[in-house]
Amino acid sequence: MVDTPGRWVEVAVPANAESVESVSELLSSYGYNQGVVVEESYKQDDDGDNLEIDPTRPVLVRTWLAVDDELPARRRQLEHALWHLKQIGGVGDPTFAEREEEDWANAWKEHFQILRIGASFVVRPTWREYEERPGDRVIHLDPGMAFGTGLHPSTEMCMQFTEELDLNGRDVLDIGAGSGILAIGAIRSGARRATAVEIDPVASRALTQNVSLNEMDAQIEVIT
């Protein structure tokens, strides 16, 4: 396992609603652990079941680059890719700011709200209050820099698919578990046990913490 980076460069890119997806995909290709935060751009739909873009709000897409020997080359590549994306329109100039890990870890939390996915899953950040409803499968989460909050479309689709499966009494394997959201969701859906594998040092720390937050240490084996 490698050491966790202690310093980061925060990259922020303004974009209109039509460009958010393309900017997010680009930043995820360069950001640490493919982590991207879209600030003030999503809202729950009228049913409260899904996220949708709110075109009335300004959109700022952020990612973080680890400060290491590869940073200068990675930044040049990212700036070059963003320049090409800007030619299409709807994308502003990026800003770069160095952040200490402790400062960053507290600042990003304001961007994560309680998220309902599918018919029953509720992803509750630990710093948000939530009154549980009958039938809710609540996942208590502090993703740290693991970025597994359910906002990514692939995570959301996996959770929706989980609702359609009969996992009662089954064993589940989650490779690249990140924050542990899918393994925890599987246990909430009736799985007997789950094995969550994660080799990234930042993500594995969040994974272990979230398993404990959901009181699933006896049901989820964490391999790092």
Looking at the domain assignment, is residue 197 inside a domain? Answer: yes
**Residue 140: which pLDDT band, with cuts at 50, 70 and 90?**
very high
Mean pLDDT of 26-46: 74
Listed residues 83, 108, 133: the one ending a domain: 108
3-state secondary structure of 181: helix
38: domain CATH number is 3.30.70.240
19, 93: one domain: yes
Mean pLDDT, residues 180-197: 97
| Domain match, 155 and 202 both | yes
| Pairwise CA distance, residues 33 & 81, whole Å | 19
Burial 84-105 (b: 16+ CB within 10 A, else e): ebbeeebbbebeeeebebeeee
Last residue of a domain, one of 64, 80, 108: 108
pTM more than 0.85: no
What mean pLDDT do residues 73-80 have?
A: 96
Burial of 8 (0-12, 13-18, 19+ CB in 10 A): buried
* 128 and 181 co-located in one domain: yes
Is 126 contained in some domain?
yes
Both tokens of 140, joined, read 């208590």
The three-state secondary structure class of 85 is helix
How many residues are recorded in the chain?
224
Which domain does 178 fall in, by range? Answer: 113-223
Last residue of a domain, one of 64, 86, 108: 108
Q: Say yes or no: 16 and 88 in one domain.
A: yes
> pLDDT category, 163, cuts 50, 70, 90?
very high
Per-residue pLDDT tens digits for 102-135: 666 566 666 677 888 999 999 998 888 999 999 9
Is residue 2 a part of any domain in this protein?
no
Mean pLDDT of the chain: 84
> Given pLDDT bands bounded at 50, 70 and 90, which one contains residue 205?
confident
pLDDT for 151: 60
Q: Are strands 137-141 and 121-125 parallel, antiparallel or unpaired?
A: parallel
Q: Is the CB of residue 195 less than 8 Å from the CB of residue 172? A: yes
Claim to verify: residue 123 and residue 103 sit in the same structural domain = no
Distances (CA, A) of 48 to 51, 124, 171: 8, 14, 31
Same domain, 78 and 144: no
Give the CATH number, domain containing residue 218: 3.40.50.150
Comparing CA positions, the residue from 57, 81, 61 lying closest to residue 10 is 61
Helix ranges restricted to H, the chain:
20-30, 71-86, 101-107, 153-164, 181-188, 201-213
* Higher per-residue confidence, 143 vs 202: 202
What is the maximal distance between C-alpha atoms in the chain? 53
- DSSP secondary structure of 104-158: HHHHGGGG---EEETTTEEEEETTS-----TT-EEEEE--TTS--SS-SHHHHHH
Task: Specify whether 42 is located in the same domain as 68.
Answer: yes
Angle, helix 153-164 to helix 181-188, in steps of 10 degrees? 20
State how far the Cα of 134 lies from the Cα of 117, in Å rounded to an integer: 15
Two structure tokens written together for 167: 């996992």
Residue 196: inside a domain: yes
